[in-house]
Amino acid sequence: MAKSSKKLTPRLRKLSVYLYIPNIIGYARVLLNCYAFGICFSNKWLFSVLYFISFVCDAIDGWCARKFNQVSTFGAVLDMVTDRISTASLLAILSQVYRPGLVFVSLLALDIGSHWLQMYSTFLTGKTSHKDVKDSTNWLFKAYYGNRIFMGYCCVACTLLNPISYCGHSE
């Protein structure tokens, strides 16, 4: 009996990353965002509340990953892709609501481009996290990633500003 459980252990370990608590929260965020964007034109306020809940879940999944030592590459990618798609979708909607939408399209390009460059440069330098900016010479990276209060302020401000801009627009 002990032999068979030893044989299953490596396979279960490979599968278990998909069941990490932060990843389950990530799946819930994907479903929440699908529903939120599905109703965004029929119920702006509910959309905004759901969008904000997804943002809160983003903070919780990171906390859970560190708390339960369930940090994984899969989880990091799931988190990053969910964030980028959520932001991109909202900015695309705002670009249609507020004409001309060049400002929102520019913000979309900045969001995707800056994250891609930061992730790419992280992997080129052999670092394991895009938030590791200890040896960076860029003051803005150090201010943003090095100070959780400042980073939290920036994230909360953007997460609140975009849906409020959407809710505040009258047809």
Please report how the helices 44-67 and 21-38 are oriented relative to each other, as an axis angle in degrees rounded to 10. 170
Identify the active-site residue in 79, 83, 111, 132.
Answer: 83
Q: Could you give the CA distance from residue 118 to residue 157 in angstroms, rounded to a whole number? A: 21
The H-or-E segment that residue 35 falls in is helix 21-38
The answer to whether 83 is a known catalytic residue is: yes
Whether residue 22 is preceded by a cis peptide bond, meaning omega within 30 degrees of 0, is no
Placement of tokens 């999944």 in the chain: 61
- Distances from the Cα of 152 to the Cαs of 25, 33, 42, 127, in angstroms? 19, 21, 30, 23
Residues acting as catalytic residues? 83
